[in-house]
Amino acid sequence: MPAKAMSAVGRFAAATAATGVTVLSYAAYSARHVRLVKTGPAKDTLLAQAVEVPESGFKGKGDCFRLDVPGHVPIERFVHAFFTSWLFKLERLVLPVATTDSLAKDFAYSRVNEFAIWTAKERTDSELLATWAEEHSPATGATWMRVVHGKDDDGKPKTCLEFGSAIATGDMPYQKAVMAVAMPLHLAYSGLLLGAAAGNIDRTE
């Protein structure tokens, strides 16, 4: 495999595996609280619309995780909590672009449209769709977040946090092999990321 081609996808798999060693105890908690929607995001969402575009290379595939938290959480606060959670900060250490919590907040609140390898493509009052790509890598992807506000059984406000993604790669055998290894790790890691973001909500403004 060409060294440059390993780039994002290969490093992603390696970083995911390394991170997994440090979060085994947290995984047990997340498994009870984070729900994987195997059918993907709802059809009216930005991610669902993006993966259906043939030119995207996503081939109609996207995953979605959901987690309910108490209170009314705006999309900006969710994005801020996600990119500044303790678990995502570990991922930030291996990103090719330096990042800060201040820049993450600016990205969350639409003051900038780029954060590390992500570029905000579309925002609504309840969703963010960002795409990512890295130089010399065949992989590209989309990261998506949404908040759905409602009431719990006692009539108190609650928010369903939704986090999803889609990854497009080339059709070379080594690319497919890397993705075959990375995808199960990606799904497990995504659930942990959402759990970590939810735990960080109360520590963000």
Instruction: For residue 91, give the CATH number of its domain.
Output: 3.30.530
Given the structure tokens 């060294």, which residue do they identify? Answer: 3
pLDDT attached to residue 3: 46
pLDDT attached to residue 130: 95
pLDDT attached to residue 1: 47
Residue 93 lies in a domain: yes
Residue 17 lies in a domain: no
Residue 132 Rama label (left phi>0; alpha psi -120 to 50; beta): beta
pLDDT attached to residue 136: 60
pLDDT attached to residue 29: 47
Q: In what order do the strands lie in the sheet with 127-133?
A: 35-37, 63-70, 157-168, 140-151, 127-133, 118-123, 114-115
Residue 29 lies in a domain: no
Residue 188 lies in a domain: yes
pTM for the structure as a whole: 0.79
Q: Which residues share a beta bridge with 124?
A: none
Residue 22, SS3? helix
Residue 193 lies in a domain: yes
> How many domains does the structure of the chain reveal?
1
Residue 6 lies in a domain: no
Residue 99 lies in a domain: yes
The residue type at 47: L
Pairing of strands 118-123, 114-115: antiparallel
Would you call 44 exposed, middle or buried from its count of C-beta atoms within 10 A (0-12, 13-18, 19+)? exposed
Q: How many CB atoms lie within 10 A of CB 179?
A: 18
- CA distances to 14, 66, 71, 178, 180 from 74, rounded to whole Å, are 33, 15, 10, 36, 35
The tokens for 138 are: 């065949």
Would you call 174 exposed, middle or buried from its count of C-beta atoms within 10 A (0-12, 13-18, 19+)? middle
Residue 28, SS3? helix
pLDDT attached to residue 73: 98
Print the domain residue range for 186. 40-49+63-203
Give me the average pLDDT of each 10-residue run along the chain (205 residues).
Answer: 49 50 46 58 83 62 87 98 95 88 97 95 96 73 94 95 83 62 76 92 87
Residue 27 lies in a domain: no
